Amino acid sequence: MMSISKLIVKTLSIYSKHLFGLLALSLLIVISGYAVTWAIFPANIDKTSTYVEMNLSEQVSRMISVVIWSFKRAFLTCLTTSLFSAATTMLVCDKLSKGTSTLWGSLKQSLPRLCVVILATISLYFVIVGGFLMFIAPGILFYLWFVLTIPAVINDRLGPWAAMRQSKRISANKLAELFLVAVLLGAFAFAIHLALMILGRVVVQTLFENQSIRSLFLILLLIAKRVILLPLVTLPFIILYFDFVKSGQSDESEIVAVPCCPLSIPKTSSVDESN
C-alpha cells in the first residue's frame, strides 16, 4: 500500500486539477440528495413537544419515526457517495496512468453502469447497516470489506455481488490500512464540520437577527461543507483500489493485475501492427 503522505498528495493533486468540475459534480449530487430527502422522505417528526409531555405510545412512535428517518438519510448519504465514486473512478484511473482524460469523459464512462451502481449501493447499505445493528463491530468489518465495491463495478464491469466479492478479496489483507485511512478521513471530516458549524454560529449570531435567515445560512453552510468534503473523502479509496490492484498483493486469479482504463488506451506501435 502507498504511504499516507503519498495518498494525500495524489488526492489533493486530482482534487486541485479538477477543482471546479469536482465541486460542480458534488454540488449536483448533494442537492439532488437533499431534494429527494425533503420531497420523498419528509421527517414528519413533532419537535414542538418534549418526551416528558408525551405518553408512552407517543414516545415510542416518535422514536420509531426518528430511527426510520435516520436510516433513510443514511441511505441517501450512501447513494450520493456511491454516485460520486462511480462518476470519478475512471478519471482517477486515467490520472494514475498519466492520461489526459476529463471529468466529463469519466462521467460518460460511468453512466451506462448507473443501474448497477444503484443496485450495488442498496446491497451495500443493507449489509453494512445490518452489520452495525449487530453490535457495531460487524458493520465496521463489512464496511472495510466492501468499501471498494463501486470502483470494481465501474472498472471491472462487474455486477453488484461480484463487485462486492472483488472488493472483499482485494481488501482482505489490507483491513488495518483501510481502517486507518477511514479513521483519518472521518476525523478530518468531523474537524471540518465542527469548525464550520462553530464559525457559522458565530457569523449567524453576529450578522443576522432574523431567525429564518439564520436557518437558511446554516443550511447553505451545511450544503457547502458536504460539497467540499465529498470529493476529499471519496477519492482516497478510489486511489487505494487501483493501488491494491496494480500492486498485485492478492493471489486470486479473478483480480485484474493492471487497472483497466478505457479512457487512455495506448496506441499500438507499428511493430505490433505488422505482427
- Going from the C-alpha of 21 to that of each of 24, 55, 83, 175, 245, the distances in angstroms are 5, 51, 15, 32, 27
* C-alpha cell, 100: 489526459
Running DSSP on this structure, what letter comes out for residue 158? Answer: -
Of the CA atoms within 13 Å of residue 231, those in its CB half-sphere come to 28
10-residue averages of pLDDT along the chain (275 residues): 84 88 89 72 52 62 71 76 86 77 79 87 86 84 91 89 91 88 90 84 75 78 87 91 74 43 40 39
Find the DSSP H helices in 41-174: 56-96, 103-110, 114-133, 137-146, 149-155, 160-171
Are 26 and 88 contacting, i.e. CB atoms less than 8 angstroms apart?
no
Of the CA atoms within 13 Å of residue 163, those in its CB half-sphere come to 25
* C-alpha cell, 127: 449489509
pLDDT for residue 52: 53
Indicate the pTM of the whole model: 0.78
Are 151 and 237 contacting, i.e. CB atoms less than 8 angstroms apart?
yes
pLDDT for residue 272: 42
b/e code 106-125 from CB counts within 10 Å (16+ = b): bbebbeebeebbeebbebbb
* C-alpha cell, 220: 447553505
pLDDT for residue 41: 59
